[in-house]
Structure 1
C-alpha cells in the first residue's frame, strides 16, 4: 500500500474511536483490520497490503488515540470559535491525524495539511476541506 492508502486506513480506524469505548480500542482496531481483510481478500494483491502495513496501521491508530487528550487540548486552544465537541467527526478526525503527524512524526506541515484536505474531499462534506485547511493553518502558526 502506498502512504496515502495507509493514511486512509489509519483515518478510518481512528474515526471508529468516536463510536466505541476507548477502553477496548485495541480490540476494535483489530476487528476493523480483520473485517477490512475479509472484505478485501480478492483485492489484496491489487492493494499490496502487507502484514507490515497492517501492523503500522494498528500501532499508529492506537498511538493517536492514546494522545487524543493532548491533541484535543491543542485544537481547543488554537481554533477560535470551535471546540472539538462541536466539530464534525470526520473533520475532527482528520485534524487530529494531521496534527499527530506534524507533532509526533515530524511530517512536513504542507504534506500533512494536503493529505488531510485530500481525505476531507473524499470523506467529508462540501465544506470539510476548507474547514480542515483553516483549522490546521491556525494550529501550525
Structure 2
C-alpha cells in the first residue's frame, strides 16, 4: 500500500475511537484487519503501530487543537474532522518521517474525501496555525 492508503486506514481507526470504548478497540482492530485480507502484514503492522501511537497522544493532540481552533473545541467538532486533525497533528509533532507540509496536504485531501462543506478549509486553517506556531519550538 502507498502512504496515502495507509493514512486512510489509520484515519478510519481513529474515527472509530469516537464511538467505542478504549477497551473495545483491540477487538475492533482485529475485525478491521480481517477486512484487509489482501494487505501485506507489514502494512497491517504499520497501520496498527501508527494508530496506537496517535491514540497514545490524544490528550496532548486535543490540547493543541483546542488551543488553535479558535471558537471550536474538540468536544463540539465534527468527528470526521477531529479524527483527521488528530492524525495530522500527530504527524506534524511526533512523526519524523512525515514533513509538516505533507501532513497538512494529506489531511486536507482526507477532508475533501470524507468530510464536506468547509471542512478542508477549517482543517487547513487549524493545521496552518499549529505549523506556524511550531516554527520557533520543538516541532520537527
TM over 0.5: yes
Q: Report the CA distance between 1:126 and its aligned residue.
A: 2.1
Q: Which residue of 2 aligns with 1:50?
A: 40
RMSD of Structure 2 on Structure 1 (CA)? 1.2
5 Å-filtered alignment, 1:1-141, equals: 1-34=1-34, 36-37=35-36, 41=37, 44=38, 49-106=39-96, 107-141=98-132
Write out per-residue CA displacement over residues 70-104 of structure 1, whole angstroms, 9 at most, x where no aligned residue.
Answer: 11011112221110011101111111100101111
Write out per-residue CA displacement over residues 36-77 of structure 1, whole angstroms, 9 at most, x where no aligned residue.
Answer: 22xxx5xx3xxxx21000011111111211210111011112
What runs of 5+ residues in structure 2 fail to find an aligned partner?
A: 133-140
Structure number having the greater helix percentage: 1
| TM-score for both structures, normalised by structure 1 | 0.87
How many residues align? The count is: 131
User: Is the contact between residue 30 and residue 58 of structure 1 (CA under 8 Å) also seen in structure 2?
Assistant: no
Segments of 4+ moved more than 3 angstroms: none
Q: Separation in 1 of the partners of 2:71 and 2:54?
A: 24
